Amino acid sequence: MLNKKTVEDINVNGKKVLVRCDFNVPLNDKFEITDESRIEGALPTIKYLLKNNAKVILCSHLGRPKGEAKKEFSLAPVAKRLDEILDTKVIFAADDEVVGTNAKEATNNMENGEIVLLENTRYRKEEKKNGEEFAKELASLADIYVNDAFGTAHRAHASTEGITKFMDESVSGYLIQKEIRFLGNAVETPKRPFVAILGGAKVSDKIAVIENLLDKVDSILIGGGMAYTFLKAQGYTIGTSLVEEDRLDYALEMIEQAKVKNVNFVLPVDHIVGAEFSKDTEPIKTEDQNIKDGYMGLDIGPKTADLFKDIIKDAKTIIWNGPMGVFEFENFANGTISVASEMANTDAITIIGGGDSATAVNTLGFGDKMSHISTGGGASLVFLEGKELPGIMALDNK
């Protein structure tokens, strides 16, 4: 288990503290924020620092401006919203250079308990290249660095990893701590039975996750587009369903390994299929695992949903990543809804690994029924692969 210093382990009183947040919020065409959960996720750390008299400098990326200052990717809407939410005035350092004249001026003359938000770190090409110069410039603004951006912790960028080389103290914020606690405890010391539910489009995206989890879980339930590669590998017919032909051997190997490791590897036993990939295609239930020519599997069927329910009901720890079908189409959302509602109903530790499953759980209104919804889809997958996250590894140990 990672044992990284947190904001509570250091003295922040009167110090300039640069916090790397994840303010990568969705905006509409009027530049209004359409989902504030990432801003809310950053508040505990910001409030702690304000309460303890720090001078708080915030930074983040937003979208993909590709190393150029583009107005549509400005963090100005985030500054405005933060200013409304917090009792403290938020000064926005509008600065195309991110750390240019404006940012230096704004951060030079700060009082304790003040907040400055820098402009989008990805306005600078060096951000994604982990360029030393930009990392040094960012570091020069503050005495202490705090990383609280779990969503980008799997990337070694200038503001997530490079900067730590030029700071005396680099610690984690509350959001990263929470992610490490839930994901780390679940994977390292799970209450059993420990069940992983994996779905989504591709097997290839989840290979490393399956391999790592096979050593840890009691059951793996597979749904979504990735299930058909496993079914085809076993000789079932899959019609025109998604398949990765180059992963068929791998799929058999995984099923074999699951047997050796005594892991219950559960594939769909029926499906909801359609003639085409469209929201209007007629949903048809299959009798069993097989799918007829001309049809594609777009959701797990009701027998599979019941089978999954029974396993979820008895579990003590459940991790879910990836929808069970094309949940964006109403007719093919039932499998995903069923898993979400069963997870919401258990007393088990329930963890949603970000991305599409987090969207599904939140839009269905089950968000507050889960123990933890990760704020980083990509980062949580890397975590579940058992790999190190550079943005966390670079922080000081306790």
Contact 323, 302 (CB under 8 A): no
For β-strands 264-266 and 284-285, DSSP reports them as unpaired
| Site for ligand AMP contains 354 (CB under 6 A) | no
Can you tell me which of 65, 151, 323, 354 binds ligand AMP, judged by CB under 6 A? 323
Cα–Cα–Cα angle for 185, 344, 202, rounded to 5 degrees: 70
Task: Confirm whether 202 is a catalytic residue.
Answer: yes
| Site for ligand AMP contains 200 (CB under 6 A) | yes
DSSP 239: T
Can you tell me which of 96, 97, 132, 205 binds ligand AMP, judged by CB under 6 A? 205
How many binding residues for ligand AMP (CB under 6 A)?
16
Cis peptide before 323 (omega within 30 of 0): no
Contact 103, 61 (CB under 8 A): no
Rounded-to-integer distance, Cα 90 and Cα 129, Å:
29
Catalytic residue among 15, 16, 38, 206: 38
The amino acid that residue 348 corresponds to is A
To the nearest whole angstrom, how small is the minimum distance from the Cβ of residue 229 to ligand AMP? 11
Site for ligand AMP in 216-235 (CB under 6 A): 224-225
The separation between CA 122 and the C-alpha centre of its own chain, rounded to angstroms, equals 19
Rounded-to-integer distance, Cα 78 and Cα 90, Å:
10
Q: Which residues pair with 264 in a beta bridge?
A: 219
Mark the segment that binds ligand AMP (CB under 6 A) among 13-21, 36-44, 318-326, 362-370: 318-326
| Site for ligand AMP contains 322 (CB under 6 A) | yes
Task: Confirm whether 192 is a catalytic residue.
Answer: no
Catalytic residue among 355, 376, 377, 391: 355
To the nearest whole angstrom, how small is the minimum distance from the Cβ of residue 293 to ligand AMP? 17
Contact 372, 319 (CB under 8 A): no
Kindly report the backbone phi and psi dihedral angles of residue 332, in degrees, each rounded to the nearest multiple of 5, phi listed first. -125, 25
Rounded-to-integer distance, Cα 163 and Cα 305, Å:
47
Looking at the Cβ atoms of 325 and 391, the one nearer to ligand AMP is 325
| Site for ligand AMP contains 242 (CB under 6 A) | yes
Can you tell me which of 325, 354, 376, 391 binds ligand AMP, judged by CB under 6 A? 325
In this chain, which residue has its C-beta nearest to ligand AMP?
Answer: 200
DSSP 316: S
Catalytic residue among 131, 367, 378, 386: 378
To the nearest whole angstrom, how small is the minimum distance from the Cβ of residue 330 to ligand AMP? 12
| Site for ligand AMP contains 326 (CB under 6 A) | yes
Task: Confirm whether 184 is a catalytic residue.
Answer: no
Residues making contact with ligand AMP (CB under 6 A): 200-202, 205, 224-225, 242, 297-298, 322-323, 325-326, 328, 355-356
